A and B are shown apart, each in its own frame.
Chain A
Amino acid sequence: MTTTRTDDRLASTAGETVITVDSLNVSFGSAGSKKHVLRDISLELKAGEILGIVGESGSGKTTLLSTILGLLPPEGRVDSGDIRFGTRDLLQMSGAERRSLRGSALRLVPQRAMTSLNPVRTVIKQFQQFAKSAGQDDLSAEDLTVLLRRVGLALEPRQLKRYPHEFSGGQLQRMFIAASALLGEPSVIFADEPTSTLDTTVRSQILELVRRLRDEVNVSVIFVSHDLGVVAQVCDRVLVMYAGEVVENADVISLFDDPKHPYTRALLGALAERHQPHEMLTAIPGKVSDSLRIESGCRFAPRCANAFEPCQSIWPADRRAGSSLVKCHLYGEDAREQ
């Protein structure tokens, strides 16, 4: 039933697609109170790429991550679409197969390292557990100190017998990143807001670490964040999510130089860095909850400054705008019809 661990790692050649999500629809709740939380999500993660997923609360970025990893809560349901890891269809796999992939080929770096570790087990014991799921059966304290030195943590073997609370948040996050990137042979690291609870100077170091390890071990990364500054610093390609949809998919330079979707433009306009001191920032009227129930038409239309006639009634499928994909009627024809 399970495949051997060595098969789980994809032979990653640059440019090859590691994760493919195709027209994914996910809903929460049953018939009466059904919420369509992910609508028509498509993405491709290339080998060695850092793909950013950026959005505000309620955009569905964490749900998307959970769906790919097979960690949707019980009330969540995949209505349609495909998720593939290489050529393997993740949605057709058994629970046991998906479990064995998590921790071996697919790794998660959580938002809060502290609460994701067991507070009453020593760090070394927890790492040995991680190593086991990664297919590395015995991990000695010496091996671990060597490994942690690669992420900038100089610890003595005796210090590894300490408990999580004896380390700082930055140290624990480095440990998680070491575990996800350097134990066994990972293909994809899923980082869910890995720096949002860290201090400015620590965050910057962690971002550098993510980029460096990506280069060193050629792993691919899906990096979820609400912080546009962080996304600009670390990602190669970015998906902007709004109310359960990917409204813009662009390489990082195009996204910040020439944002296409009115929502992306509004988000960038809301940043203090793009304004003179004391100047009024560009605000987005309304709130996300106004958009989640919309089934026909564009979900951003009620808050959009550029909305016109078709936006209320016709759902905008992806359109090409330069090198970007945008769900917006401002950009001509449906890409799939061209």
Chain B
Amino acid sequence: MSAAATPRFVVRNLTKHFPLRGQGRENRVVHAVDDVNLTVEAATTLAIVGESGCGKSTLARCMVGLMRPTSGAILLDGEDLTDRDALRQHRREVQFVSQDPLSALNRSRTVGATIVQAMKVHDVGDSSKARRQRAGDLLEQVGLRRDYMGRRPTDLSGGEMQRAVIARALAVEPSVLVLDEPTSSLDVSVKAVIANLLLELQATLGLTYVMITHEIDLARHMSDRIAVMYLGRVAEDGPTVDMFAAAGALHPYSQLLFAAQPLPDPRHRRFVGIGGEVPSAISPPSGCRFHTRCPIAIDRCTSELPLTEALAPNHLVACHRASEHLDASSTPRSELPPSSDPGVEDALLGPADQGDQ
């Protein structure tokens, strides 16, 4: 990728607020996504990770044009998709693969009809015959037999349905796939099959992926970059290899999130948590949104919004304290208290869980 080339997919200052209705709530909004900036180079994968309520699914819906952002831009090869005309023209190029494949398919239609319909809507293919031919080819490409054309979604297993959804997304020749938790409803062995399929398709078709997931292991395996979201904002956004290298993630939230992933290795047990509950997105905390739960927060964090800075090449972090730790070449992780349980590497962090919502 040359530096001069326009990146394939860019999210610029994207904000999505949901107004609240009802008396006394007139001027209040849910801050679902606030001032998010992301860049995805062609034929690479950006994983967006975070826990419930961080805004990752709202962001995905804005990216594919299912939701209009409150402000900001979504650029596909430099064209702003928040412009209605541009969206109409380019909608085909950004396709969505949703979390629940059964709800993404029409249960009363055959798989073949669903795929052909997508082509019709987007004016792909010259004749019905050509479309049916292509639908069959696509099913084979995603590892299903041609005779699945005549089957209905409810006759398919979870993995087969997800393949069918991917085939439908590919039917309209997209350049970007937005994958919303593509494997989270699937069994371990099926998960592996879908992950392999997505990697293969990317290699053969040069697809660009934006993958929304809460599964850190999947993000690590599939992505080139990882963006960590917390309460509507991007806390950290960097190359996947750097995020899991020795220096690791630089934002305290990313560090805790990654460390909390249960490793399939009983010799390395660690239990990591974050005290308290996720604050309300209606009145998010001042300053850094993570300060109410952050183990290393200082006074400045409560009042001043941290700027997003490049602390390493291509590695953006929004934290007042990340740079000092980088300078001291000791990560904040060393401040974590030692564990009381001998079998445990890291201790539970933060204050006792507060009941107040």
Pairs A–B under 8 Å by Cβ, sample size 19: A56-B189, A56-B190, A167-B355, A168-B277, A201-B260, A228-B188, A228-B264, A252-B266, A257-B267, A266-B189, A272-B220, A272-B222, A273-B263, A277-B220, A280-B199, A281-B196, A282-B192, A283-B196, A284-B192
Q: Could you say which residues of chain A place their CB within 8 Å of the CB of B267?
A: 253, 256-257
Would B51 and A199 count as touching, CB distance under 8 A? Answer: yes
B248 within 8 A of A: no
Number of A positions contacting B (CB below 8 A): 60
Would A289 and B157 count as touching, CB distance under 8 A? Answer: yes
Q: Which of B20-28, B146-154, B210-218 contacts A (4 or more CB under 8 A)?
A: B210-218
Expressed in whole angstroms, the Cα–Cα distance for A235 and B274 within the complex equals 23
Q: Which of B33-41, B172-180, B346-354 contacts A (4 or more CB under 8 A)?
A: B346-354
Would A227 and B262 count as touching, CB distance under 8 A? Answer: yes
Would A272 and B221 count as touching, CB distance under 8 A? Answer: yes
Expressed in whole angstroms, the Cα–Cα distance for A208 and B260 within the complex equals 11
- Contacts A56-B189, A205-B271 given: A232-B264 contact, CB under 8 Å? yes
Q: Which residue of A lies closest to B158 (CB)?
A: A57
Q: Which residue of A lies closest to B187 (CB)?
A: A56
Q: Which one of B187, B192, B272 lies within 8 Å of A201 (CB-CB)?
A: B272
B240 within 8 A of A: yes
- Contacts A153-B353, A200-B261 given: A273-B217 contact, CB under 8 Å? yes
Expressed in whole angstroms, the Cα–Cα distance for A232 and B187 within the complex equals 17
Q: Which residues of B in the span 178-220 have a Cβ within 8 Å of any Cβ on A? A: 187-193, 195-196, 199-200, 214, 216-218, 220
- Contacts A253-B267, A277-B220, A278-B221 given: A229-B353 contact, CB under 8 Å? no
Would A208 and B344 count as touching, CB distance under 8 A? Answer: yes
Expressed in whole angstroms, the Cα–Cα distance for A253 and B217 within the complex equals 21
B107 within 8 A of A: no
Q: Which one of B199, B256, B266, B353 lies within 8 Å of A256 (CB-CB)?
A: B266
B52 within 8 A of A: yes
Q: Could you say which residues of chain A place their CB within 8 Å of the CB of B191?
A: 270
Ranked nearest first, the 3 interchain pairs of A and B with the lowest CB-CB distance are A208-B271, A205-B273, A229-B262
Chain A: minimal CB distance from B331 (Å): 18
Would A233 and B214 count as touching, CB distance under 8 A? Answer: no
- Contacts A232-B266, A281-B192 given: A200-B199 contact, CB under 8 Å? no
Q: Which of A9-17, A154-162, A310-318 contacts B (4 or more CB under 8 A)?
A: A154-162
A211 within 8 A of B: yes
Extra contacts, 19 of them, besides A149-B352, A152-B348, A230-B262 (Cβ < 8 A), are A56-B187, A153-B353, A154-B355, A170-B277, A199-B214, A200-B216, A201-B257, A204-B262, A204-B272, A205-B273, A228-B264, A232-B263, A233-B263, A267-B188, A271-B217, A272-B222, A273-B263, A278-B221, A281-B196
Q: Could you say which residues of chain A place their CB within 8 Å of the CB of B357?
A: 166-168
- Contacts A56-B188, A270-B188 given: A281-B262 contact, CB under 8 Å? no
Q: Chain B interface: which size bin?
A: 35 or more
Chain A: minimal CB distance from B357 (Å): 7
- Contacts A205-B271, A271-B188 given: A174-B353 contact, CB under 8 Å? yes
B269 within 8 A of A: yes
Q: Could you say which residues of chain B place their CB within 8 Å of the CB of A280?
A: 196, 199-200
Expressed in whole angstroms, the Cα–Cα distance for A204 and B352 within the complex equals 15
B265 within 8 A of A: yes
Binary CB contact string for chain A from 165 to 176 against chain B (1 if under 8 A, 0 otherwise): 011101100100
Expressed in whole angstroms, the Cα–Cα distance for A256 and B269 within the complex equals 13
Expressed in whole angstroms, the Cα–Cα distance for A153 and B356 within the complex equals 10
Chain A: minimal CB distance from B291 (Å): 16
Q: Could you say which residues of chain B place their CB within 8 Å of the CB of A266?
A: 189
Q: Which one of A230, A268, A281 lies within 8 Å of B195 (CB-CB)?
A: A281
Q: Which residue of B lies closest to A160 (CB)?
A: B355
A207 within 8 A of B: yes
Expressed in whole angstroms, the Cα–Cα distance for A202 and B256 within the complex equals 11
A112 within 8 A of B: no
- Contacts A56-B187, A154-B355, A230-B262 given: A200-B51 contact, CB under 8 Å? yes
Expressed in whole angstroms, the Cα–Cα distance for A280 and B248 within the complex equals 24
Chain B: minimal CB distance from A137 (Å): 26
Q: Which residue of B lies closest to A274 (CB)?
A: B264
B299 within 8 A of A: no
